[in-house]
Structure 1
């Protein structure tokens, strides 16, 4: 079995609208910290110099949102009320949603803007495979080439409402994208709303989750490395954060050889 990493990193050196803070305590600093904590809490004296090389363990402390890097959005992220009942948090989602056959749809030709239902139908016809219930559908938009730069947050394409419903009507419950959002860029949506006055153009993919329970996987990477449009599995288990609207994932494709 070949394992293909589909995840983008949590990288404090990359550009983020909500900057990542990554503090590293070195093994030597960890030794001194441990000695101080042992003395403060247990009145135990310990000399860090007694450790090999004067080192204990490193420790990383990060400040970031649950939407940094590749992550899974839970229904509670989309709103506080669902037409189907209380939207579930990420720790409440069924794990069997996140290890399923995968289908990748190539929509790189769309560029920046909206991916409509007609474009999804055309791609499904091209690959000759209709996603089955609980298949994980991945949208290859090409946006991941901008990871770590401001363009990643502005230059991508996202689903409109009918396109989202088309996939949900097929029984899909997890939709992924290599873009920052499953919706179109903010600027594109706001411009469309100001021009038309139609509020259905505002976050239609996310707000579909208020009507129908499903999850999104955002900020995927390397979808071009997949061996075909289907015939592989996707594993994207979210981190179990109690009461959270999203959780990070190390998403991978599993390809039998």
Structure 2
């Protein structure tokens, strides 16, 4: 079986609207920290030089949002209203695991430019590749945005979906939609310009707000979709980290292809 990594890294050297901090504790610092903890919590003095090389274990502390790197958005991310559930939208820890290990297909939107793609474009692409999605398939959108990863252009130059496109995929039975872009919606500047020019509130983040009426998840900030050797006939595994009561969770997305 061939495994293809579809995840982008969390990297504190990348440009991010919400910067990531990464603090490393060296193995020597880990030894000193362990000794101080032993003294504080158990009243035991420990000579760190008794350890091999005078070192214990290293550690890393990251400070970041749950929407940094490849992550799965839960319905709770889209707002407090969920017309489909009396108890409100589910957080990331409450979603069914079987949503996140499913057959998948990828649609090529690299020539769509910057802006919002409609249902007609997705239907034409499915017709081009000759595939009819099955219920619960994972849909992947290859916009080519990951070529800008780590730069400001990553957040402003990509194709997103409009409301019709999201509902089109959900009507096919899709419950997880993934993109290699920063957002499943069009870039923020494009949305705000369109709203300023039209005054139409339906252009304001329609892909996300569709989740207030229909339960589904997004995977944002995928990578390497252009390395998939075929547009369907593979499985994607993208289990989100079980963060209690959170609106999203980081994921290591992987495509599994039988030889």
- Three-state SS of the structure 2 residue aligned to 1:231 is strand
SS of residue matched to 1:183: coil
Q: Secondary structure, in 3 states, of the residue corresponding to 2:116?
A: strand
What is the TM-score normalised by the length of structure 2?
Answer: 0.99
In structure 2, distance between residues paired with 1:29 and 1:131: 53
Hey, what's the Cα distance between the residues in 2 that align with 1:111 and 1:219?
17
The 5 A counterparts of 1:1-257 are 1-85=1-85, 86-257=88-259
C-alpha displacement at 1:227, in angstroms? 1.2
Q: Please give the root-mean-square deviation of Cα atoms over the aligned residues, in Å.
A: 0.5
**Runs of 5+ in structure 2 lacking a partner?**
none
- Which runs of at least 4 in structure 1 moved beyond 3 Å after TM superposition? none
**Mapped partners of 1:163, 1:41: distance in 2:** 56
**C-alpha offsets along residues 172-203 of structure 1, whole Å, 9 cap, x if unaligned?**
00000000000000111111111111111110
Query: How many Å apart are 1:241 and its aligned residue?
Result: 0.0
Q: CA deviation at 1:151?
A: 0.4
The CA distance in 1 between the partners of 2:230 and 2:201, in whole Å, is: 37
Cα distance in 2 between the residues matched to 1:201 and 1:128: 30
Q: What is the distance in 1 between the residues matched to 2:17 and 2:133?
A: 34
Which structure 1 segments of 5+ residues have no match? Answer: none
Q: Which whole-Å CA distance do the structure 1 matches of 2:96 and 2:113 have between them?
A: 34
TM-score (norm 1): 0.99
How far, CA to CA, are the matches of 1:47 and 1:14 in structure 2?
Answer: 39
Q: CA deviation at 1:237?
A: 0.1
Q: Secondary structure at the match of 1:193?
A: helix
Matched position secondary structure for 1:108: coil
Alignment coverage as a number of residue pairs: 257
